[in-house]
Amino acid sequence: MKKNKQWSGWGPTGQQAQQHYLVEPRHLAGGGDLRHVTEYLRASGWDKSKSGGPVVFDSPDKSMRIGYDPYTQPGGWTISGKQTATQEAWHATLGRQVPVEIVAGFTDALTRPRSAHAPNVWAPLEAQDWETERGQHFTARSPDGDAVLRFHQTAPGQAHWWAGARNEHGRVWEAMFTPTTPMHLVQAFSTALADPQPAMRPLGHVPPSQRIRTTSVSVLPSQLSAWQQARVTAARAATWASNAFATNKARPQGTGARPYAKAGRMR
């Protein structure tokens, strides 16, 4: 079902509006633009590989790596963390058709400090009326029945997190996380997975499925640019705040240094 809607907003007059679609549910919206993920990582200080091969980003402390390779099978995102004094090594894979908005829920969380609150993977899903069931595995299923998140345990010591979505044509995507994956990251993924906000896709990039609902919108290039820039600006601001906090926490008291002393150099 398609609805037409005129998207009103800012931007200079005379621009040619472009046709886009708001697609819901977002778990069936298709992969989307990789820059939604990669530009946020770049703005957060992650190092991008200089080679012409697959996209690879390393965290500033080199403890985590995010890669995207569309050329291998099944291809998609591979995300891993090294073992540390407080965390076991972990690994995650997300297929090429996992919407970038959902991938970003996970990868954005890698750039932020961990919350002091105990994570609850299932709470965001239950808040959006996902059906949960406890059996051999703990499972949450979307209201439309087309997306699932499951903690899959086959034997003691053999477990993993698994998520997937399907439409009338079959499996669309799947994602898997080792059981050592930090719970707050899995919760960030489940929060993005359950988000009821539609995903926006340009003309020609809407999946051919009767399971989705689309709303046609006309968008100015300046609007798209402004929305993308707002996300990048948020990443830079969060990174600056985190670095400033860490610097001030480490500085001995009584130095008299101003809390914004580093702003000019880090801009």
- Residue 7, pLDDT > 50, answer no
- Residue 246, pLDDT > 60, answer no
Sign for the pseudo-dihedral over CA of 246, 248, 252, 257: positive
Residue 54 forms part of a structural domain: yes
Residue 256 forms part of a structural domain: no
What local confidence, expressed as pLDDT, does residue 50 receive?
A: 74
Residue 258 forms part of a structural domain: no
Residue 238 domain boundaries = 2-8+17-245
DSSP labels for 225-261?
A: HHHHHHHHHHHHHHHHHHHHHHHHHHSPTTS---TTT
Q: 260 versus 103: which is more confidently predicted?
A: 103
Mean pLDDT on 228-252: 73
Q: Measuring CA to CA, which residue among 238, 243, 242, 263 is closest to residue 108?
A: 238
pLDDT tens figures, 19-33 = 999 999 999 999 999
- Residue 234, pLDDT > 90, answer no
What local confidence, expressed as pLDDT, does residue 115 receive?
A: 84
Residue 253 forms part of a structural domain: no
- Residue 39, pLDDT > 80, answer yes
Residue 251 forms part of a structural domain: no
pLDDT tens figures, 132-179 = 998 778 999 999 999 999 998 877 777 899 999 999 999 999 999 999
Residue 41 forms part of a structural domain: yes
- Residue 92, pLDDT > 80, answer yes
Number of structural domains found in the chain = 1
- Residue 188, pLDDT > 50, answer yes
What local confidence, expressed as pLDDT, does residue 210 receive?
A: 96
Amino acid at 209: S
